Structure 1
Amino acid sequence: MISSEKHINIETNTNLLSSNNSNIWELILDDSYKIVDLSHSFIKSFDLDNYSISEIEIKLKNNFLKSFINALSNKKEIFKAKLFSGNQYYKFFLNEIYHEDRIFYRILSYKQSEENIYKSIFESFHDVYYRTNLNGEILLVSPSVFERAGYNPEELIGSNVINFYRKIKDHKELLRMLKEYGEINNFETEFMKADGSICSVALYAHYVKDDDGNKIGIEGVLRDITEQKNNEESIKRYIQELYETKDTMEQNAFELVKLNLQLEDSENKLQELNANKDKFFSIISHDLRNPFSSLLGYAEMLYVEFEEMSKVELKEGIEIIFKSAKSAYELLTGLLEWSRVQSGRIEFKPENFSVNSLIDELIALNNLITSKKKITVANNIYNNINVFADKQMISTTIRNLLGNALKFTPRNGSINITADINNNSAIICIEDSGVGIKPNDLEKLFRIDIHYTTNGTSNEKGTGLGLILCKDLIEKNNGKIWVESEFGKGSKFFISIPLYIDAGVS
């Protein structure tokens, strides 16, 4: 009989199995595609109490595991599969997790209505998300359609998607492929914008099904690849000219190299967008859902067992609900702020301001935390250094770095803030006497494709987005951010900011 207890712990002291929600099925597979654990709800839903894990693997082999491996090889975050010998298809969400230098795969399935939790996040989606009924009438479209194609999203509701295809035959081909394969990846076609111009798009789409497996609509994501296609066409034209005009071969070769560099740059940007999308869906399917699961679980327990619970038990439940809601809010706030930076919707407003004064303001904002943990924070910037940068962005960056220093510094510790001048830049250093960072973790800190977060010395929670946001904001100000750390002794975080040319040091 399979135990429904969770038994594997990762570094953050949470479980690989992430949900107690009875409406969510969850499986954990290792890098050999072997089942490591199953959620209690999955076991109960399919009467598997009397089966061993190896017996369940045999039952899943023909249908589910084949679909999972296919999704993994095609880098799909969403896939559909049958379970056991039934005819009903289920929608699954797939993401990678890391434990002790190994990759594990968390696979979840839940009711369609739960996706409404993430509606506010999709409003900041960079590509265009849409959903139609089976007749092609648009039911939902992300606000990004205005920036990408010039359409007001509200005016598109009820319109038929076929009206936006440049070639109707492409829409017919898409429906044919959907009918044959169930979903489509990177289907290239052309759409008409509101101003009448044409854009090239790569389209991902699949059927939406109800709880009984009946097809009720189609949903998908459109990515504008016009620039990439234009570069490809330009390269084709120049290659042809090289063959036709031998006298200008050297000049055309030079132009070809330039265009290849442009194409490489375009592909790199596309890869970066894909990495952002992967991070986006990883946070949606894992990090954001965890606090909601705790919040809903304990709220339900309070609702059902309120009369039988003692005051101590009630206080513990309310505290967990508060912490879960706070964690979800902080993660959602960070995610939306990061999304605004990625989509270029934060206006850059550089100005002349004093670093010393800004540091004093930020230290004062953290007086409550420093008093609680008895940490000494010293502003040792003796010169009046003025910089020319976006003050709000720099304030957000230093506030994040100071917050991290407070989080990872134990009681009675110290934080020292200094600044120096190097050429035309101010170098600000925030040094703490905290726990430090392991050498193999340093390279993970600023990477968007690796989710890295640890608890503070008082078990403070993090979102894993703070340092990534800091890096983006500093780079927008033509600066740099880096770190030096010795595990067990503390860390030094540095940022460089352009000096105010007429001020310098007084």
Structure 2
Amino acid sequence: MKILKRFYRNIMNTTVDRNNYFEEENKRLIILPLQIIASLVVLAGAFALMFEVTYFEQFSIKIYFGRLIATFIGFVILVISNFDLGRKNPTLLIHVLLLTIIASFASIIINIPQSIYINSHLLALVIFTAALFLNWDLKNQIVVAIYYNLLFASSILVTDKSIYFLPSMYASVIYVILISFLSIVASSINYKLRQKAIEKTFEARDFFEHSTEALFRCNISTSNIVTINQSFKLLYGINDNNNSFDLPFRNLFTNKKEYDELIDILKSNNQVKGFIAKFRSLTNQHFFGSLNARLLSDKKDKTLFMEGNIRDITKEKLADEKIQKYNEELKILNTSKDKFFSIVAHDLISPFSAVIGYSEILAEEYKDLDQEQVGQFAKDINSVSQKAHNLLNELLDWSRIQTGRMQYDPQSLNLKTIVEDLLILYTENAKKKRIELNNTIDKTHRVFADYKMINTTIRNLISNAIKFTYEGGQIVLSSEIEGNFLSVCVEDNGVGISKEDLEKLFKIDVHHTQIGTGKEKGSGLGLILCSEFVKKNGGAISVESENGKGAKFRFTVPIPSE
């Protein structure tokens, strides 16, 4: 796992540019082979010092010093390669080591020409092996090929041509040059192919790093993040000082159950697309994201990683919520429009039809009517006109508040005075049904509200109470302080309201009307208007009632601050 982490840090998060990448990577790859060759030189030199000098007794002194110097240089290079100096200059060290090996073998070949066959092949094997280690660097490959040519050219010049399998010395030289040339060509092709592979690696890295979506890979068993890109860091508020490789991916989910759900889907389908979840950044900012992911397994089908991308869809989510809100508002507006046309078509036309009917009778038959009948028609016309006028006022008020054109002018008001003035207006109606009106509101109670709105609210509640109270009934108005609000109650002992009908009250999308105890009719707009006015003044309205047990309408209004 540590190697894997280092790999991803080096490849995905490296700042080394393309021009230096080959050189840096070649240095890293050469270190271990350099140490192996240096170790072999030291071991081979030690064995040569013990056995080779006794085999070639007449050349023991020359061979001994040659092997001793080569062994010493190999040991020094082995030591240096373990320090920064050696790690920064491995190519130089391997050239020094190659020249040392060539010099060592050359001294043997010069002193013992008949050993050229075996020694030259051994030396060629060492040079060829070194060339493999330098296969990412064409320049050094050419240098090694020059070593190879110089070696064989020197061998041909100082030895008998009869030891070669080719007919002449020149043929041997040409053969060696041809082989070297083919080696350089092959190395050049290999270099180009490796360069293309590295270019693809850089392209993949650039795509990974500069992707606008947050890319990640995490360990499926521990949930720890293995690698992330810059977009992921920006999305989650991770800076370069954070050790993202020790950060559990699970902890980035606001709700851990969503992470568990994601893993269950992945284990079932091996991939997931468009998984919506709520995430939390390291700065504790919450956002919505759409996640795509898949599972990666090894050759033994053992699941190792989860990799994928996350896209911030918070704006889209908020936009969807706004659209839903606008749809709800549009639905309410359409319902309001339907309600408006329903009232205009039925409740408002009916009184005008009555007025037209009465006026036609007066216009066509006034000569046949006595004074008493004319007076009655006049009263009926006045009554119907008053109802139509009140309904028009309610419609206008409702229209203004729906469109935001109704003026809101809150002020400190004495509630008892408002109620007393309203009860005077309804005294005659109450007397007709022998209903007792009781105002028990404390004379010191004041409210901070718009006068017209509160006046209309109480007027509608009193009118409804009279409409649905039996003859000989009672209506009580009371108030009590509840914190920073004044709770106002209009209570009657009339017909009451069923549980089913209670749910229909105050709703614009539900048309609910009921005939009063005196056959009075209503539009159903009054209570909706009361609800709107109370909310506009910062309060709330409610009702308590049962069939046959009367009703209690309560609403709250703010108290003036002292």
- TM-score scaled to structure 1, two decimals? 0.46
Structure with greater helix percent:
2
Higher relative contact order (CA closer than 8 Å, sequence separation 6+): 1
Larger radius of gyration: 2
Using structure 2 for the length normalisation, give the TM-score: 0.42
Q: 1 or 2, which has the higher strand percentage?
A: 1
